[in-house]
Amino acid sequence: MEKTTERFTIAHGSGGELTNQLLESETFEILQNEYLQKKHDGAVFELSGKLAFTTDSYVVSPLFFPGGNIGDLAVNGTVNDLAMCGARAKYLSLSFILEEGFSIDEFHTILLSIRKAADKADVLIVTGDTKVVERGKGDKIFINTSGIGQVHPNANIDAANIEIGDKILISGPVASHGMAIMSVREGLEFESQIRSDTASVQEQVMTLLDEFGQDIHFLRDPTRGGVATVLNEIARQMHLGISVDERKIPVREQVRSACEMLGIDPLYVANEGTFLVWVKAEASEMALEKLQAVLPTGQQAAVIGSVVAEHPGQVIIRTEIGGRRVVAMPSGEQLPRIC
Partner 1 sequence: MNMKYISEYRNAGVVKKLLAEIEATVTRAWMLMEVCGGQTHSLVKNGILNMLPDKITMVHGPGCPVCVTPKSMIDQAVALALRQDVIMCSFGDMVRVPGSSKSLMQARSEGGNLRVVYSPLDAIKIARENPDKEVIFFAVGFETTAPANALAVLQAAKLNLNNFSVLVSHVLVPPAMEAILSDEFNTINGFLGAGHVCSVMGLHEYYPLAEKYKIPIVVTGFEPVDLLEGILMAVRQLEAGIATVENQYARVVRNTGNLQAQAVIQEVFKVADREWRGIGVIPQSGYKVREKYQLFDAEHKFSETKNIKVQELDAGCIAGEILRGIKKPVQCPHFGKGCTPLNPLGAPMVSSEGACAAYFHFSQAYETTS
Among positions 6, 34, 186, 285, the unique one binding partner 1 when judged by CB under 8 A: 186
Listed in order, strand segments (DSSP E) in 45-140 are: 51-58, 64-65, 68-69, 87-99, 124-133
Assess 253 for contact with partner 1 (CB under 8 A): yes
What phi, psi does 217 have (nearest 5°)? -85, -40
Assess 331 for contact with partner 1 (CB under 8 A): yes
CA separation for the pair 141, 112 (Å, rounded): 15
Helix (H, G, I), strand (E, B) or coil at 175: coil
Nearest alpha-carbon partner for 140 in 109, 178, 170, 96: 96
Residue (209 or 228) nearer to partner 1, CB: 228
Assess 136 for contact with partner 1 (CB under 8 A): no
Strand (E) or helix (H) holding 168:
strand 167-170
Residue (44 or 339) nearer to partner 1, CB: 339
24 to each of 17, 103, 105, how far by Cα in Å?
11, 17, 15
Residue (187 or 296) nearer to partner 1, CB: 187
What phi, psi does 17 have (nearest 5°)? -60, -45
Min. distance of Cβ 240 from partner 1 in angstroms?
A: 14
Residue (207 or 257) nearer to partner 1, CB: 257
Give the gyration radius of the chain's Cα atoms. Answer: 21
Min. distance of Cβ 143 from partner 1 in angstroms?
A: 25
CA separation for the pair 121, 70 (Å, rounded): 16
Residue (39 or 247) nearer to partner 1, CB: 247
Residue (51 or 316) nearer to partner 1, CB: 316
Min. distance of Cβ 325 from partner 1 in angstroms?
A: 4
CA separation for the pair 331, 317 (Å, rounded): 18
Q: Please, which of residues 255-274 interact with partner 1 by CB under 8 A? A: 256-257, 260-263, 265
Min. distance of Cβ 181 from partner 1 in angstroms?
A: 14
Assess 188 for contact with partner 1 (CB under 8 A): yes
Assess 332 for contact with partner 1 (CB under 8 A): yes
Helix (H, G, I), strand (E, B) or coil at 147: strand
164 to each of 3, 13, 232, 279, 304, how far by Cα in Å?
57, 53, 15, 11, 15
Residue (119 or 260) nearer to partner 1, CB: 260
219 to each of 75, 209, 246, how far by Cα in Å?
19, 11, 20
Interaction pattern, residues 301-330, with partner 1; x per rule: CB under 8 A: ----------x--x-x-xxxxxxxxx-x--
Assess 3 for contact with partner 1 (CB under 8 A): no
Candidates 26-34, 131-139, 250-258, 298-306: pick the segment binding partner 1 (CB under 8 A): 250-258
Assess 338 for contact with partner 1 (CB under 8 A): yes
42 to each of 37, 52, 125, how far by Cα in Å?
11, 19, 11
Min. distance of Cβ 35 from partner 1 in angstroms?
A: 42
Residue (280 or 311) nearer to partner 1, CB: 311
Residues that bind partner 1 (CB under 8 A): 186-188, 253, 256-257, 260-263, 265, 311, 314, 316, 318-326, 328, 331-332, 335-339
